[in-house]
Amino acid sequence: MIETATIIEALHYILKKIGTAGKIKLIKLVYLADKYHLLKYGRTITNDDYYAMDFGPVGTTVKDILAFDKDMLSKDFKYAAKLLTKAGEHEFTAKPVKGKTEFDHLSETDIEALEFVLAKFGKMTGTQLTNYTHKYPEWAQHAHLFENKTIRRARIETEELLSVIDDDCFGITAKHIEESRKMLTGDFH
């Protein structure tokens, strides 16, 4: 089940740390945090559905939240509006929240993943992040479809996010990734 409140809190967490950010940058940072968390702990933070799209891997719920689509469930829309605000057509900031911000839906390991991604990728632009995420096999295998404008999106299975690339900075061993794969699939044989 997709964790909409967790996604909203993750976006708020990122924006509190980096200030204003564009939609593409936010989508990519959440994707990389999900990827890191999956590689290290066998589950994503958001449980979002991922698709390869022209600009790289995209979590569909993250994209929908950032569209501030009123078709979202009322409680999700209200929660997003409480924590996030548009600072331009495609720019967002964290809304100030009175008192200490509680991240009830983010675990310690979720925050670890977000912090890791912010440290490694937080200064990159949306375009730089798009170019970087295009290197991963879960997107690269579909690149030809976007060159020919054959389709708009192709499903990425969660297990495919367990990929690494040569200049990957996640630093997680192949043995550990295999253990994460077992946790994800439930196949411990």
CB 158 within 8 A of CB 44: yes
Alpha-carbon distances of 46 from 23, 34, 169, rounded to whole Å? 17, 7, 21
Which band of pLDDT confidence, cut at 50, 70 and 90, is reported for residue 155? very high
- Model pLDDT, residue 120: 97
What is the domain count for the chain?
1
Residue 78 parent element (H or E): helix 74-83
Query: Residue 157, exposed/middle/buried by CB under 10 A (0-12, 13-18, 19+)?
Result: exposed
**In whole angstroms, what is the distance from residue 83 CA to residue 167 CA?**
34
Strand order in the sheet with 50-53: 56-59, 50-53, 153-156
Domain of 89, in residue numbers: 4-185
- Model pLDDT, residue 99: 66
> Per-residue pLDDT averaged across 101-109, rounded?
87
pLDDT per residue over 24-80, tens digit each? Answer: 999 999 999 999 999 999 999 999 999 999 999 999 999 999 998 767 668 888 889
Contacting residues for 6 by C-beta, under 8 A, at least 6 apart:
45, 46, 47, 105, 106, 110
Is residue 138 pLDDT above 90, yes or no? yes
